[in-house]
Chains A and B, each alone.
Chain A
Amino acid sequence: MAEKQNIEQQIREAFQGHEMDVSSSVWAGIETQLGATTSVASAGSAFLSKAVAVLAAASVITAATISEIQHMETSAPEAEGIEVSHESGATDAVDVATAAPEQPVTTETSSGESAPEEQHSNLNASQPENQQAELAETAMEEPHNVVHNIDIQPEDEMPTVATEDMAQHTSSEEEAPSKGNDETNSETDVTADELAEDNSDDESDTPIQTDEPKSIAKFHQKRMQNVTPDGNGINDYLVIDGENVGEFFLQIARRNGQVVFQSDNPNVRWAGTDMSGNALETGTYFAFITASSTDGVPFNNGRGQKITINLVR
């Protein structure tokens, strides 16, 4: 299965974390240039230092908040966050795979059960407000038109690919770390009507045929993902984890259907911004993936896939 992973992803993984030696002349050059810059800047240094002080004060507050969240998010020390999460990612994938066939309703239940110790852990501080806000929104905009149009349930695919693939692709960077948040989230964030959709859709999908001669596009996405662009290395982006992807289109919309972001690049990373790179506000967003495989087979019979994203700043 690993060989079917697309070439771009393999290349990205090859370069992930790659480092090269840097000759000492580079730092020497930087020091020289910085020396020049700071002496120029020091003319207005009184003003500057004020600005810096204000900034520093602001960033101390941010730092405090961020580190609080960090601590709640991961029990693992920062330095090992990635590796540790990979392991848990792999086992989690297996859990999903084994649990799902018996109870099709389930990415959320099975993953929730598989890691009960994480449920209390993250983002509880900020969660309640969001949730209230969302519920309020839901009440106001009952018909999720956009959602219904494109909505499908990816669970059926997960089991067929999860065991072999996800266990192997441990280096797919953001996928694994997102686990911790997903679990909590899926507990708290599913609204009643979404659950209803889950149930109704589950019977309809047919299992993937593994011996299909044509390649089939697959996406190893969680149905619900957190994006927390706080720079702590965990869930900073939504990352698309697909294989055999030919044509690709991603749209991200607010709950009211307003499209805020789109891309035709399966390697895109979405860090909670609009098309101009402006930060979007905390809230629930929907990502719609439509795609075809490298052999031109429409992904999921052309129905695409919906991912619910919880953007938390």
Chain B
Amino acid sequence: MYNAHLTPSFAPIMTDQELIERCLKGEPRAQKALFDKFSGKMMSVCMRYADSRQKAEDILQDGFVKVFVNLAKFKGEGSFEGWIRRTMVNTALDWIRKTKNLRLDTDISEAEYLAGESEQIVGKLRVEALMSIINEMPTGYRTVFNMYAIEGFSHKEIANELGVTESTSKTQYRKARTHLMKIIVERENI
């Protein structure tokens, strides 16, 4: 979580609290240090929600601007990284809502997949492979899957965020999961 070697541009390791204080004073070096500390992880978050690298970087950029602008609103409840992450996710959701390509009723043609089979294969999955599978999902599946499986939103929260019903969220999630498992089984050795 606090990887010293990942913040080379600001050699002495600053705690999040120090970073925040110095950013609030408007120190450009601190802002850059904060960006360097979290941008790699947040790029991973944005990439999960985006359909392209370019889009992910757009979201990342907007998200970090929000982080700096709203920094004073961070009250120290929960971790700072968690707060930044939520800002990124919200920015991603804004983009998804705005582009209106959230076709939650999209149906991926599904081959039968035997539930419970081959779940262990995921153990061999590399994160890059997972990322590419998630990126290839239709936006609706991808969004619900990210929110539920990785960010830990409840279906109720997802329904609120995306303006769909709770049962739509559940159905979408189940389909997304099945879709994912099917691809994992197909690719088996990725």
Q: Which residues of A contact B (CB under 8 A)?
A: 2-8, 10-12, 14-15, 17-23, 25-27, 29-31, 33-34, 37-38, 51-52, 55-56, 59-60, 62-63, 66-67, 78-79, 81-82, 215, 229-233, 236-237, 263-265, 267-269, 271-273, 279, 294-295
Contact of B20 among A59, A230, A279 (CB under 8 A): A59
Return the chain A residue nearest B73 by Cβ. Answer: A55
Whole-angstrom distance between the alpha carbons of A81 and B6 in the complex? 16
Check if B25 is an interface residue, CB within 8 A of chain A: yes
Which single member of B76, B115, B116 contacts A231 (CB below 8 Å)? B76
Partner of A8, one of B69, B120, B149: B149
Q: What are 16 A-to-B residue pairs whose CB atoms are below 8 Å?
A: A7-B149, A8-B150, A10-B125, A11-B122, A12-B150, A21-B40, A22-B39, A26-B57, A30-B68, A31-B28, A34-B69, A51-B72, A55-B72, A267-B150, A271-B82, A272-B77
- 8 Å CB contact of B65 from A8, A33, A56: A33
- With A7-B181, A15-B130, A52-B25 as known contacts, state yes or no: A265 contacts B154, CB within 8 Å: yes
Q: Cβ of A279: which chain B residues have Cβ within 8 Å of it?
A: 77
- Nearest chain B residue, comparing its CB with the CB of A45: B26
Which residue of B is nearest A64, CB measured? Answer: B17
Residue of B20, B61, B122 near A30 (CB, 8 A) is: B61
Indicate which residue in A19, A231, A272 contacts B79 across the interface (CB closer than 8 Å).
A231
The interface on chain B, measured as residues whose beta carbon lies within 8 A of the other chain's beta carbons, has a size of 63
Partner of A79, one of B2, B32, B41, B43: B2
Q: Is the CB of A3 within 8 A of B123?
A: yes
Q: B13 within 8 Å of A by Cβ? A: yes
Interface string of B1-35 (1 = CB under 8 A from A): 11110100000010111101100111010011001
